[in-house]
Amino acid sequence: MEISVNGKVQQIPGDEILLLELITKNGVKQPDMVSVQLNGSFIRKEDFRSTVVKDKNEVDFLYFMGGGKYLFF
Amino acid sequence: MDFTEQQIHRYSRHIILQNVGVEGQQKIMNGKVLIVGAGGLGSPTAYYLAAAGVGTLGIIDGDVVDTSNLQRQVIHFTSDVGKPKVVSAKEKLLQLNPDVNVITYHQLLTSENIIQIIKEYDFIVDGTDNFPVKFLINDACVLLGKPFSHGGILRFEGQTMTYTPGNACYRCVFAGPPPANAVPTCSQAGVLGSIAGILGTIQATEALKFLMGVGELLTNRMLIFQALNMEFRTVKFKHNSSCPICGNNPTIKQLVDYEQATCDIQQSE
C-alpha cells in the first residue's frame, strides 16, 4: 500500500500498519516526543498502539523544536 | 497622526507597496509588539520590526550576552559580551530607528509576571529556546486572547505557527511539554546560526501582517523547513477539540511553570 508520510509517499507491504510501528519505522526513537496527525486529526499518544494506518492515508509527524540548546526526541 | 517628511522618506518602500500604503504604515506605527527572548529568533525579529517602524517594541530577556550567542544572535556584538541582552538590543534598535519606543524587561517570563506584561501588547513573538516558557506564552495568550507567533529551531530545521483566538494553539499540536523522564541526547542539539535568521524574519513578517491586517496568517498550520535540502512544507491542522487549554473540556485553567533539563556545554546561556 501507499501512504503519505510528511508529504512524501512511502510504500508499505500489506494492507495496514499500526501507527506505532510506522513511527518506529520512520526512525523516531522516542514516540513520546512526536505529535502525530493522521488524515488531519491529532492522535493521542495513548492511541498510537491501537491506531491503524491504511492505504492512501496521510500521516504527519511534528517534532518539538526549541532553540538548539534543549532537546527532546 | 501625520507623517513627517522624514518618515515618508524612511518608510517610502512600504508606502508605495500595495496592501501597505500610508494606512498600513500607520497601523505598523500604532502597533505594540512584545518579543520574548533577545536571542537567535528575537534578534532578526526585533531588527525588522524596528526598521518597519513598529510604535512600541517590548523585549524581555533575563540573560546577559555570552560569546557563544554571537554565532546566531546578530543583535549582539562582540563588545556586548557580559551586558544584559535587553540593553544590548535596545542600543542597536534605537540606532536603527530612534522613532521606536523600546521597552525592556531584564527578567524571566514566569506565571507570576506574564499576564501583566503581555496585556500591554497587540502581538507576542515567542523567540524563546525552552519549552516551559513556550507553553507559558501559549497558555497566557490563549487565556488573554492575544495573538502570538511560535518559533522553534533545531540543527538545520525550523518550525513556526501563528495563533489567533479561535484558531489552533500550540497545545492543539503539542498537548504538553515532553515528559520529565525523557532523556535528552546532547549529540542532537545545536543549531546553524542562519536558521535563526530564516525563522525570525518569518515571525517578524507575521507580526507586521497582523498589525496591518493583510494576507493570511500562519494559523491552523505549521510551516516547517529543513535547510539541509532546503525544503519548506506546511502541515495543516484544525483547532483540536481535545486541546487541554482551548478544547471543549479544558483541563488547564491556570498558568503552570514547568521544569526543564538543559543540554549545554557551558553553564548557562
Burial class (CB in 10 A: 0-12, 13-18, 19+), A30: middle
Give the Cα separation of A12 and A6 in Å (integer).
15
- Which residues, 6+ apart, have CB-to-CB distance to B5 below 8 Å? none
Task: Measure the CA–CA gap between B257 and B135, rounded to whole angstroms.
Answer: 9
Please tell me the predicted confidence (pLDDT) of residue B178.
74
Q: What percent of chain B has pLDDT over 90?
A: 85
Q: Residue A60: closest CA among chain B residues belongs to which residue?
A: B235
Q: Is B269 on the interface with A (CB under 8 A)?
A: yes
Give the per-residue pLDDT at B237: 94
Evaluate if residue B140 carries a pLDDT over 50.
yes
Q: Which of B118-127, B138-147, B174-183 has the lowest mean pLDDT?
A: B174-183
Interior/surface letters B161-189, b for 16+ CB within 10 angstroms, e for the rest: bbbbeebbbbbbbbbebbeeebebeeeeb
DSSP bridge pairs for B101: B56
Work out the number of other CB atoms within 10 angstroms of the CB of residue A3. Answer: 20
The model carries a pTM of: 0.93
Query: Looking at the complex, does the CB of residue B133 fall below 8 Å from at least one CB of chain A?
Result: no
Grid cell for residue B11: 518608510
Q: Kindly list the distances between the CA atom of residue B32 and the CA atoms of A64, B36, B126, B159, B207, in Å, as whole numbers in the listed order.
A: 28, 13, 15, 24, 10
Residue of A nearest to B178 (CA): A33
Question: Which three cell numbers, joined as nine digits, stand for B154?
Answer: 533545531
**Rounded distance between C-alpha atoms, residue B93 and residue B113, angstroms:** 25
Measured in residues, chain B has a length of 269
pLDDT bin (cut points 50, 70, 90) of residue A67 is: low
* Cα B5 from Cα A73, distance rounded (Å): 53
Residue B39, exposed/middle/buried by CB under 10 A (0-12, 13-18, 19+)? buried
Asked if A11 is an interface residue toward chain B (Cβ–Cβ < 8 A), one would say no
Q: Is B92 helix (H, G, I), strand (E, B) or coil?
A: helix
What's residue A72's pLDDT? Answer: 41
Give the pLDDT score at B181.
55
- pLDDT above 80 (res B185): no
Q: Is the pLDDT of residue B188 over 80?
A: no
Q: What is the mean pLDDT of chain A?
A: 88
* A8 interfaces chain B, CB cutoff of 8 Å: no
Q: What values do phi and psi take at B8, rounded to 5?
A: -60, -40
Q: What's the CA gap between B246 and B234, in Å, rounded?
A: 22
Is the CB of residue B235 less than 8 Å from the CB of residue B222?
Answer: yes
Q: What's the rounded mean pLDDT across residues B75-101?
A: 98
Which residue reads 557563544 in cell numbers? B68
CB of B173 within 8 Å of a chain A CB? The answer is yes
Residue B265, burial from CB neighbour count under 10 angstroms (0-12, 13-18, 19+)? exposed
Distance (Å) of CA B266 to CA A2, B38, B66, B262: 46, 19, 10, 10
Residue A45's closest chain B neighbor by CA? Answer: B175
Residue B212's identity, in one-letter code, is: M
pLDDT higher than threshold 70 for residue B183:
no
Which residues, 6 or more positions from B198, have their beta carbon under 8 angstroms from its beta carbon?
B158, B225, B227
State chain B's mean pLDDT as an integer: 92
Interface size, chain A vs chain B, as Cβ–Cβ contacts under 8 Å: 100
